[in-house]
Structure 1
Amino acid sequence: MAAPLTVLVDKTPLLGPTIDTGMRIGWMLRMARLVAGEGRFDRLEDMAAVVETNVTALHRIETGQARRGVVVDAYERALGLPAGALRAPTDVMCRHFGNGPVDRDPGQVVDTAAGLSALTDLVLDGEPDGSEWLTWARAMSQPFALGLPHRLAVPLVGRLARELGRSQGRAYPIRHEALALLRRSGYGPVVLEAVQEIVSDPHAQMVTGVLSVLAEDASPEAALWLAQQLHVPRMQLFVSATIALEKMALISPDPDFWVPLVDLIAAAYESTEPGTPHWECLSHLMRLIPPEDRRRLGDWQPPHPPAPLGIETLRSASEPESGVWQECVERARRVCREVGIAYQPMLARLLFDAAFGPYDVRAYATFALLSGLPTITVPLHEQIAEIATHHHDPGVVLRARARLSGSRLGSIPRAARGWVDHENPQHREVGMILLGAAGEKLPEPHTERALRGDLAGANAALQGLGLAGDPRLRDIVADETHPELVRHNAAWWLRAGSRVVDDTDHVAR
């Protein structure tokens, strides 16, 4: 009889400065073994035999005490998962939060002229999936890597960056990791050029992913460029730059990271109006700046108070008896019952970070961590959609709705299907985006009403239509009764292509 499993818990404070990275990646691997892939391995001994290691070593890996990339790769093969489905979130978590175990056995990468040539031919002439992009990026990003001429690297990196923006499901975290490796390598400036070229198109959509990749290397040049985007009125670009700066500050080893940016952020805050998304984003950034760096502004006084955190019980959320935490526990129990596993305290913690917590980087790292576990992720997203639909606290609703919109699940929770008819315009907008991300057709009357309304609603409709590859985009471009900006944004989708997914027989373009 197998020994009882150790209960894996992240005991760091909910609102504390860091998380237990090792425990989280260990839990992900255990859950992959128990619920994901083509077959499950209830006994650790059986998995140890398949991945060719011993039970003690595997137990240390599954409890976050050790990390071996070759073993994570072996889990993917044993469970029938795409290469990178578990490795990419593992590496992302350890890189972002800095307290995970060191990878003692990352494995071999392609390091021969013939091997690199074959990989480059594949991404140059074929239709690579995320795993193939990641294999190529690993080879390209090594310190000893054979150089690729600039004229060949630029179009390949640009193509990968453009695919990333439209990726859904597993296609997103794997491509994100591929581009992140290149950003942190000698090809980092090429990635910066590719991102800036994408953003330079005033009609570009789906820029959050590429700005997130830019934050993987906290270079002064990239940080300054991101801070300058805070003065741009384009809402999606503005919000994406805010999240990227939060992530860059987390990754940066420089204690003075914020110093060159303080004046730009303060100036951007002065131009905001209370109650607007710009005000909320800049209030969040101002909170992230250490007090000693804010003092560099001298006598500067903000023209209006910052936006509230939006969660009335947030201060007490770290207490076991708090309403927020108890709700996370109960919803996690529902997910576990649906999946058919024992209650997982870690899942309650991940739900808190994804739906309630104030840190966007933790939320999206949680979605990346869960991307390799669709059996768990789908019902968990259902719980987040219910929170965003019914919660009594409007701040919680706003946060959960925004997080779900950026989750890249690639399917739509049942609770969110009715959002296109919701009385709240923000719910209607996210509902259209989620439908398109799932590849489903947007209902005609709702789409037409959104296109004829304000720009936020029109862009949400265009995003849903664009992700789904809807032929109505051509009619919108040709219809001169639509505002010029709407027609140009629709034309961008025709140029860019529809959503990119890897979990079907082809990559949708």
Structure 2
Amino acid sequence: MTARPRGSSRSIDDGTPLNGARIEIGPRIGWVLRVSRLLHRESAGVGLQVMAAKVGSNATRLHRVETGGTREGRLVARYEEVLGLAPASLQAPIDVVCRTFPQEAPTDRHPAPVVGTVRELSQLTEQLSSVETQPAHRWFAWARAISVAGGIGMPERIAHDLVARLVGELGRSTSHAYPIRYEALALLRCSPYGHLVLEVAREQVADPHIRVLNDMMSAVGERVSEDAVAWCLGLLTDPRERVVHGAALALENMGQVAASSEEFWESVVDRIIAVHNGTAEGSPGWEWHSHLLRLVPASVMGGRRHRVSKALAPAPAITSWEREETNAHWTEVSRAAAAIAGELELGSQPMLARLMFDLAISPYESRAVTSYMLLGSIPEIAARVTSSLGQLIETQADPALRERMLRRLPGMAQGSFPGLASSWLVNGDDDELEAALFLAGASHTWVPAEILGRAVCGGGRVANRALYAAGMTAHPVIDRLLADPRISSETAGALDWWRRNGSRVDV
């Protein structure tokens, strides 16, 4: 049971422009720690002095950490212990955000301890190799141990098999289990074992029926390497939209983590233009090729603009990026954030508004994903943000922005299924039905068999999300449809993929 604090003494915010080239990372991760403490007063006590005593520090040091002035992984781990949170549930999303935005992220001055003996690592490896699904924090500890410079190594064959298992669980993970496994895979990708992550990703994508791959592909993009860049560029012409989407996310991530963003985009832009020009408008890859071209810095695109012979897919019409009433989107999100903060008695929380805005409105997928990872680390807020953004979608007139918001909303699902999503299952348009099915799968919500069966057989994006909802809940409709000789071989392959790989992972 968590106590509701009465306001906070200091508001934390990211004051950078809403559509600027940079964002502030320190205040974002500090805000997560502060709000987590405020929402667990029964465990943390009242005030920084009490919390400092519990974590073995002092109030001045905690203040710097909670306002983003410094970053200390060891203290984050102590916060999790004192507040009774799942191990790594705060540390993993914080580390993900810091890796995604390396130029803005504070250095971890005091990292949490790493497994450092052969016996401990052997025990972890044996646990992760067992038949039973292991808690996500063990993957995190294992990845940190073999990724650290000068750490204990292991044979590639053993590491490969474990990476394959981690990838298989990642795409089906929800709640805190998702960012923790993601960070584990990202650590491995950035380590001397990084080639194994790429190798496993190639093996997975080679399966024509692979269903969930975006998180794996994003992790591939945590490190820029010639072989990974060439592979992802080649996938932009794959006939499977989900594969093109994954490749685009990997390339966007590479552009974000590269030492020089301009040099990275300079190396890939001509190929992306050629692929885009050869793609029919409205085809599966068109939207994501357009997305990548919009990410290319103006200094790189320059005179190349005239080479883009095909129109770009429609983008949301954002008339203002100011934090003023002229920006209706900012006004709406700010009001929604204020309502959530008021309900939880948190006082003014401008950072909550900023994270919600980056999640719902920002054109950058990297900012949206890291925002919902941070928000998702605070379950009390995550459920309310899901419901609140769903209500904003209901009144959204811009179809391109509405589609973006519906696509990103399920990332916030933390075991809750908003009431409005129930109506989308029955009366929603295709975009709403697609989002509702995605939410159902992520939140382990049971969807009536007749709705799933109809959606699966209807084809297109809705069918993909219906397959996700059925697979994540191990729905008996899977066996029923597989026994139906009328279903297509593609649908049968997708259903069999879910039956072979298993359902939702929430530990």
2:290 is the alignment partner of 1:251: no
SS state at 2:294 partner: helix
- Between the aligned partners of 2:90 and 2:318, the Cα distance in structure 1 is 36
- Between the aligned partners of 1:36 and 1:267, the Cα distance in structure 2 is 53
Match in the other structure for 1:118: 123
* 1:85/1:371 contact within 8 Å kept: no
SS state at 2:264 partner: coil
- Between the aligned partners of 1:487 and 1:151, the Cα distance in structure 2 is 32
Q: Which amino acid aligns with 2:69?
A: Q
Match in the other structure for 2:294: 287
CA deviation map 1:336-389 (0-9, x unaligned): 122232121111111110111111110000011122200011101111111222
CA deviation map 1:227-282 (0-9, x unaligned): 11110121111112212211110001144212332232112211333345532221
- Could you list the runs of 5+ residues in structure 2 that have no partner in the other structure? 1-5
Q: How far is the alpha carbon of 1:441 from its aligned partner?
A: 1.9
Q: How far is the alpha carbon of 1:318 from its aligned partner?
A: 4.2
* 2:7/2:348 contact within 8 Å kept: no
Match in the other structure for 1:401: 406
* 1:72/1:87 contact within 8 Å kept: yes
* 1:258/1:293 contact within 8 Å kept: yes
Pick from 434, 454, 461: which aligns with 1:456? 461
Alignment of 1:225-264 (within 5 A): 225-254=231-260, 255-264=262-271
2:161 is the alignment partner of 1:150: no
* 2:13/2:350 contact within 8 Å kept: yes
* 2:323/2:330 contact within 8 Å kept: yes
Q: Which amino acid aligns with 1:477?
A: L
- Between the aligned partners of 2:416 and 2:472, the Cα distance in structure 1 is 12
Q: Which amino acid aligns with 2:265?
A: W
Pick from 224, 227, 232: which aligns with 1:218? 224
SS state at 2:458 partner: coil
Q: How far is the alpha carbon of 1:218 from its aligned partner?
A: 1.3
TM-score for the superposition, normalised by structure 1: 0.93
Q: How far is the alpha carbon of 1:319 from its aligned partner?
A: 3.7
- Between the aligned partners of 2:22 and 2:502, the Cα distance in structure 1 is 38
Runs of 4+ in 1 over 6 A off after TM superposition: none
SS state at 2:43 partner: coil
**Which stretch shifts more, 412-421 or 243-252?**
412-421
Q: Which amino acid aligns with 1:60?
A: R
Q: Which amino acid aligns with 1:217?
A: R
SS state at 1:166 partner: coil
- Between the aligned partners of 1:331 and 1:105, the Cα distance in structure 2 is 36
* 1:167/1:408 contact within 8 Å kept: no
**Which stretch shifts more, 485-494 or 411-420?**
411-420
Match in the other structure for 1:506: none
- Between the aligned partners of 1:8 and 1:475, the Cα distance in structure 2 is 52
Q: 1:232 to 1:473 in 2, by over 3 A?
A: same
Q: Which amino acid aligns with 1:127?
A: T
Number of paired residues? 499
- Between the aligned partners of 2:470 and 2:163, the Cα distance in structure 1 is 26
Pick from 354, 372, 376: which aligns with 1:367? 372
Match in the other structure for 2:3: none
Q: How far is the alpha carbon of 1:36 from its aligned partner?
A: 4.7
- Between the aligned partners of 1:429 and 1:469, the Cα distance in structure 2 is 18
Q: How far is the alpha carbon of 1:333 from its aligned partner?
A: 1.1
- Between the aligned partners of 1:354 and 1:77, the Cα distance in structure 2 is 28
- Between the aligned partners of 1:106 and 1:373, the Cα distance in structure 2 is 22
Match in the other structure for 2:392: 387
Alignment of 1:42-53 (within 5 A): 42-53=46-57
Match in the other structure for 1:55: 59
Superposed CA RMSD in Å reads: 2.0
* 1:419/1:428 contact within 8 Å kept: yes
2:136 is the alignment partner of 1:130: yes
- Could you list the runs of 5+ residues in structure 1 that have no partner in the other structure? 503-509
Alignment of 1:102-501 (within 5 A): 102-125=107-130, 126-254=132-260, 255-276=262-283, 278-294=285-301, 301-313=307-319, 315-319=320-324, 321-407=326-412, 409-501=414-506
Q: Which amino acid aligns with 1:485?
A: E
**Which stretch shifts more, 328-337 or 490-499?**
328-337
Percent of residue pairs identical: 38
* 1:216/1:251 contact within 8 Å kept: yes
- Between the aligned partners of 1:70 and 1:429, the Cα distance in structure 2 is 41
CA deviation map 1:120-142 (0-9, x unaligned): 11112253111111011111111
* 2:355/2:375 contact within 8 Å kept: no
- Between the aligned partners of 1:382 and 1:277, the Cα distance in structure 2 is 29
